[in-house]
Structure 1
Amino acid sequence: MHDTIANQLEQDGYAVLEEFLRPAECDELFAAGLELTKKLPDSINIFSTTDPDNQQLKDQYFLNSNDKISYFYEKDAIGADGNLKVDPSISLNKVGHALHLLQPIFRCYTYSDRVKAVCRQIGFSEPAVVQSMYIYKNPGVGGEVVEHQDITFLHTEPIPPIGFWIALEDATIQNGCLWVARGSHKSGVHRRLLRDSENREKLSYDRPAAVYPQSSFTPVPVSKGTCILIHGNVVHKSAPNRSSKSRHAYTFHVIEKRNNTFSPDNWLQEGENAPFVNLYTTNQME
């Protein structure tokens, strides 16, 4: 199994682990995700990967979310008056970025033995979880996630981060499953989001977005409970959800700490309340 996962990541840039979670475990995380929608803040922060001005990148709320449970809304869920035009329960794009630290159910699954086993199988000697997100992809309003590499936002070298993307419901072409450009992880780092050296609260990209041929993407529909491991350099995306079914997922990113550098220019930084602790020595319920 070690060779299978490691080889798949090296060859394709992603690996599909079926039945990573049992249906009842998915249901527990799904219920926790719905519970989050009942505690919405008064302020509305939109998350969008298609808005060229993407004010969220400049927003203190986003920058300070490394050690908090923060809420990001879908652009299509907000009316022209700035108020919600859909039910609050389907208004969110995602919640992040410290669920793995602050919410007991998410912490339990993030620091589980099966996650530790996968990290060992891909050869990580001192893995650390640096961020986590609950992604809703709700019917009708679930927005597009444009082509990107995760290393654009979480730059590490020489060993790239690995994303764990866990489907809590069936992810289909109709409801916005992931699409991956197989093998694209071998083409280097295409773009970076950097903190300004003088104004640390300002973020900007170091170059324009790359243009990728759409024919290079392969859909990766998966069943509930499947985990997709995502190499930090592989280019991937997801389409908007125009179906009548949601596509909830829980995702988190793991970095190798030993002999590896986490860029001080990344938007996300280790903090007193969000330490990058060794996953192997962290208890699920600490």
Structure 2
Amino acid sequence: MSNAPPDDDNGGLTPDQLQFFHKNGYLVVPGALPPSTVAALLDETHRLLDGFSLADHPMTRFSTGGEDGTGDDHVGDAYFLESGSKIRFFFEEDAVDASGALTKPKHLAVNKIGHYLHGLSPPFASLLKTSPTSTSTTPGTFIPNLRARPASVARALGFTDPRCLQSMVICKQPEIGGAVPPHQDSTFLYTSPPSAVGFWYALEDATLENGCLSFLPGSHRWAPIEKRLVRKAGMNEGTEMVVNDGPRFPPGEEYGEDKRDREGGGGEYVPGEVKAGSLVLIHGNLLHKSERNTSEKGRIIYTFHVIEGGEGRVYDERNWLQMPAGEEFTRLFD
């Protein structure tokens, strides 16, 4: 795992970091967020958790799709499907009893908040700003001095028109934080050909005890996107897994199912314990997972995804996450 912070002037990635990412499919950038930014984002998270009302909430729980992540029990109600341009709250599966009542206080019952924090929450939106220095003293509108700024990272990774989508806080609550089975992010945010990269920020320390990420290094080069989560045809509600009939890898000779045997693919998952403030980049084809949190310590993180919006890439209209008619995903480049 690469643990050297970037030292370039434009907030991007060093050559060594790029090499590590292309080889392994993930990269840890420690100290990507300064402590002041971590504190501001945690404050905003707690404000959101304290402020939402249960009075009209449909008590939607987030499901990861079964033990292997490929089942049909993913959440798919209207509250979820219309969240691409809103801030909504989804509960842990074990936080709601058979009668629909919470078994924990609401701030300890939420699995995630999503999926438009980068558009509607000023503190989270500030991470996408391109300026390297603060230009505002108004609370909630700061532009943090980031290492590895998203636009610069996307440029370093070769994006020509990067678009941000599916931003969310994931809480991984104490004692009930659910496991996430092995999966690939491009299954859920499919472009033809695949292009998704996850930006995953630890706002609290992520450890083996509280359910840190684990990665299968190099699997992005040989693990195809075989299935996709889509909206059920002709229905306002519901999602399903379908066979992917489009490209299964990004373009490039480095990708292909034959790479698994030729390069000794497979192997063991590598745990990704990280400190608060770290950024983890995750290739859309990379197999990764996290275990259940049975500890007494939660694990709050913030994540969003970037896809290529440039020529030759198409965001599929069947994907579960869609913006309202006439709106587009947030551009990282001006």
TM-score (norm 2): 0.77
Offset of residue 153 of structure 1: 0.5
Counterpart check, 1:54 vs 2:66: no
| Partner Cα distance (1:200, 1:25) in 2 | 38
Query: Which of 289, 293, 304 is the equivalent residue of 1:241?
Result: 293
Considering fraction of residues, name the structure with more helix. Answer: 1
- On the 8 A contact 1:161/1:254 being kept in 2, the answer is yes
C-alpha distance 271-79 of structure 1, shift in aligned 2 (>3 A): same
User: Which of 152, 156, 159 pairs up with 2:187?
Assistant: 152
Counterpart selection for 2:34 from 22, 40, 54? 22
Comparing 156-165 and 233-242, the one that deviates more: 156-165
1:174-213 equivalence runs, <5 A: 174-186=209-221, 187-199=223-235, 201-207=237-243
Paired residue for 2:252? Answer: none
Distance in 2 between the 1:239 and 1:152 partners? 20
Amino acid corresponding to residue 60 of structure 1 in structure 2? A
CA distance in 2, matches of 1:110, 1:176: 27
Q: C-alpha offsets along residues 138-157 of structure 1, whole Å, 9 cap, x if unaligned?
A: 11111111111111110013
Alpha-carbon separation, structure 2, partners of 1:53 and 1:262: 22
After TM superposition, the structure 1 = structure 2 runs for residues 114-125 of structure 1, keeping only pairs within 5 Å, are: 114-125=149-160
Which residues in structure 2 correspond to 1:1-286 (within 5 Å)?
1-42=13-54, 43=57, 44-51=59-66, 54=73, 56-57=75-76, 59-113=77-131, 114-186=149-221, 187-199=223-235, 201-207=237-243, 216-259=268-311, 260-272=313-325, 275-281=328-334
Look up the equivalent residue of 1:56 and give its one-letter code.
V
Query: What is the distance in 2 between the residues matched to 1:45 and 1:201?
Result: 13
Larger radius of gyration: 2
Q: In structure 2, what is the Cα distance between the partners aligned to 1:141 and 1:263?
A: 34
Distance 1:55 1:151 in 2: 16
Instruction: Quote how far apart the aligned CAs of 1:214 are.
Output: 9.7
Shift of 1:245: 1.0
SS in 2 for 1:108: helix
Distance 1:262 1:163 in 2: 16
One-letter code of the match for 1:46? R
The alpha-carbon deviation at position 76 of structure 1 amounts to 1.3
What are the ranges of 5 or more consecutive residues in structure 1 without an aligned counterpart?
Answer: 282-286
Q: Does the C-alpha gap of structure 1 residues 263 and 200 become closer, same or farther in structure 2, counting only changes over 3 Å?
A: farther
Letter in 2 for 1:31: D
User: Could you list the per-position Cα deviations for residues 150-186 of structure 1 after superposition, in whole angstroms to 9, with x for gaps in the alignment?
Assistant: 1111001324111100000110011110011111111
Q: Assess if the C-alpha contact under 8 Å between 1:168 and 1:224 holds in 2.
A: yes
- Counterparts in 2 of 1:112 and 1:77: CA distance versus 1, 3 Å: farther
Aligned-residue RMSD, C-alpha: 2.1
TM-score by length of 1: 0.90
